């Protein structure tokens, strides 16, 4: 028995501006059958350069078997993951820098599902939960989203004639070649309505509190932050083959420069923690235990630089720094972190840039650019302050993570990248998007295309 599909309620170009919808909107299947639905966009004459689609489903009735991207309209996949325990789908895409904008009606992906239990109706519901899981469509960094239409599935009891792998009949024009990928999620900030008539109604089917079973991993096929060049330090917790609560003796540098962070004293080693941000691990530094890591930071002397750091669960306070060294003369110590609970600093043991900031314990992306014309600090894409100081570090001895003198830090650090050049705005935002997508952290300006 084939699943019965009805698409007459799908939005059309005549009824909405930029609509995101499931096609067919109504599907009937039997227990054990696999079937597919399409994740669609109807943009009319509007231009679209990025789409974030987040769906909730009841895992008692449906299980996701796979998500097949359609890159014909938007080719850069930023998130492609599902969680069959919590009942979540995350799919985010954008155009490649320099690529064509999408318009008209186009498919984002095909979702393969399996019917599990009989029910009169279960919903594939678009999620509008800013800032982390918020369905939206963008052009030029601004929302162009109008509405969304959920998908409905009716599941009947299995019969002797059922065919578990049958799929719905599709229109003959949909024949793209697809390559599935798994990437983490990213979410915009705009909270749109939820139906083609701008009268949102959502029927949640579960409370998403269960730890994910499908751990997302960063995509390497769409864009790689090392492609910018001059990446001298790249510490990412998900590159370590460790179990939960394992001590971290060496945090391997993934940049290829072999600037590994190490701790030779067992009692001072931080801890590897799983499932900290978007199902991904982080390195936990505990002040009371004196946790820190050493690394060679001498290459930061006499050069511009750009720093990115992703952290969560941080407890800010007096002299709670992520990065610091042992230099005690002016311009001999790179210091990055919390000077006080509400003040974030970039310092050189003198020539400090102090900015007002509010800690985001659920996860934050810090971006710091030191150029030959000044310095600037961003938190989750928002500039927190800048200056025109042009003095470079003259040395940087005793570089450490998590310690400054007798002061230690309480934080979970997921990733650190340091370039020995001042990144352009496009390059900085590309790295921010990579990190935000990977760790499901909202950026203030939404999506921008990756640099090629």
Instruction: Please give the domain boundaries of the chain with CATH numbers for all domains.
Output: 1-221 (2.60.40.680), 225-439 (2.60.120.200)
Checking if the pLDDT of 200 tops 70, the result is: no
Quote the percentage of the chain above a pLDDT of 90. Answer: 65
Q: Determine the average pLDDT of the residues in 381-397.
A: 94
At 173 the pLDDT is 41
pLDDT of residue 450: 53
Task: Work out the pLDDT band at 140, boundaries 50, 70, 90.
Answer: confident
For the entire predicted model, the pTM comes to 0.55
Position 447 scores a pLDDT of 62
67-71, 152-156, 288-292: segment of lowest average pLDDT: 67-71
Mean pLDDT comparison of 156-160, 195-199, 206-210, 424-428, highest-scoring range? 424-428
pLDDT at 362: 87
What does the pLDDT look like over 412-426, one tens digit per residue? Answer: 999 999 999 999 998
CA–CA separation, 22 and 336 (whole Å): 46
Mean pLDDT of all residues belonging to the chain: 83
Across 5-14, 61-70, 229-238, 369-378, least confident range? 5-14
Q: What is the mean pLDDT of residues 359-380?
A: 94
For residue 5, name the pLDDT band (cuts at 50, 70, 90).
very low
pLDDT in tens, 297-306: 999 999 999 9
Which range among 6-10, 72-76, 370-374, 405-409 shows the weakest confidence by mean pLDDT?
Answer: 6-10
Model confidence over 321-338: pLDDT tens digits? 999 999 989 999 999 999
Query: Can you tell me the mean pLDDT for 344-362?
Result: 92
Residue 307 predicted with pLDDT over 90: yes
Residue range 224-263, pLDDT digits in tens: 899 899 999 999 999 999 999 999 999 999 999 999 999 9
Of the listed ranges 38-47, 57-66, 111-120, 213-222, the least confidently predicted one is 213-222
Higher pLDDT, 447 or 367: 367
């Amino acid at each position: 028995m084939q699943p019965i599909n009805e698409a007459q309620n799908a939005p059309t170009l005549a009824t909405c501006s930029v609509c995101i919808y499931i096609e067919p909107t109504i599907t009937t299947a039997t227990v054990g059958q696999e079937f597919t639905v399409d994740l669609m966009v109807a943009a009319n004459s509007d231009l679209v350069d990025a789409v974030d689609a987040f769906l909730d489903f009841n895992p008692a009735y449906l299980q996701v078997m796979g998500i097949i991207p359609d890159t014909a309209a938007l080719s850069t996949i930023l998130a492609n993951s599902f969680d069959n325990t919590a009942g979540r789908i995350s799919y985010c895409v954008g155009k490649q820098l320099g690529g064509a904008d999408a318009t008209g009606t186009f498919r984002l992906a095909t979702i393969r599902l399996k019917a599990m239990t009989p029910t009169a109706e279960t919903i594939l519901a678009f999620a509008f939960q800013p800032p982390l899981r918020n369905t939206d469509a963008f052009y030029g960094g601004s929302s162009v989203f109008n509405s969304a239409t959920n998908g409905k599935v009716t599941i009947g009891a299995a019969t002797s004639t059922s065919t578990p792998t049958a799929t719905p009949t599709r229109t003959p024009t949909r024949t793209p070649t697809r390559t599935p990928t798994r990437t983490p999620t990213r979410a915009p900030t705009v909270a749109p309505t939820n139906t083609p008539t701008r009268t949102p109604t959502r029927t949640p089917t579960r409370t998403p509190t269960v730890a994910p079973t499908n751990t997302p991993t960063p995509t390497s096929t769409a864009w790689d932050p090392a492609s910018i060049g001059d990446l001298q330090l790249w510490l990412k917790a998900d590159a370590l083959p460790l179990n939960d609560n394992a001590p971290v003796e060496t945090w391997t540098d993934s940049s290829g420069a072999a600037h590994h962070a190490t701790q030779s004293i067992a009692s001072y080693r931080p801890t590897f923690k799983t499932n900290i941000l978007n199902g991904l691990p982080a390195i936990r530094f505990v002040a009371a235990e004196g946790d820190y890591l050493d690394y060679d930071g001498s290459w930061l002397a006499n050069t511009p630089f750009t720093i990115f750091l992703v952290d969560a669960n941080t407890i800010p306070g007096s002299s709670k720094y992520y990065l610091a060294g042992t230099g005690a003369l002016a311009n001999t110590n790179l210091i990055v972190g919390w000077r006080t609970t509400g003040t974030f600093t970039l310092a050189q043991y003198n020539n400090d840039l102090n900015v007002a900031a509010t800690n985001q314990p659920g996860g934050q992306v810090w971006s710091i650019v030191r150029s030959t014309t000044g310095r600037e600090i961003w938190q989750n894409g928002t500039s927190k302050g800048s200056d025109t100081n042009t003095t470079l570090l003259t040395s940087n001895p005793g570089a450490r993570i998590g310690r400054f003198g007798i002061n230690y830090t309480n934080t979970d650090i997921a990733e650190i990248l340091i370039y020995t050049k001042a990144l352009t705005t496009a390059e900085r935002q590309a790295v921010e998007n990579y990190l935000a997508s990977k760790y499901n952290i909202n950026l203030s300006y939404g999506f921008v295309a990756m640099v090629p």
